[in-house]
Amino acid sequence: MRQLLSEYCACLLILALGFYCLFCLCALSTHVFSCLML
């Protein structure tokens, strides 16, 4: 049971990290795009 819970937590952590990276990339690309437009 504990093994399953730790695997679930790890999967959740990886998902959260992935979303965070995606968000950072989106923000960065938007920033670069706005800089290029100026």
pLDDT digits (tens, 9 = 90+) for 1-38: 688 889 999 999 999 999 999 999 999 999 888 888 87
Q: How far apart are CA 38 and CA 32, in angstroms?
A: 10
Per residue in 13-23, pLDDT (tens digit) is 999 999 999 99
pTM greater than the 0.75 cutoff: no
Note the pLDDT of residue 33: 87
C-alpha to C-alpha distance for 9 and 15, rounded to whole angstroms: 10
What pLDDT does 37 receive? 83
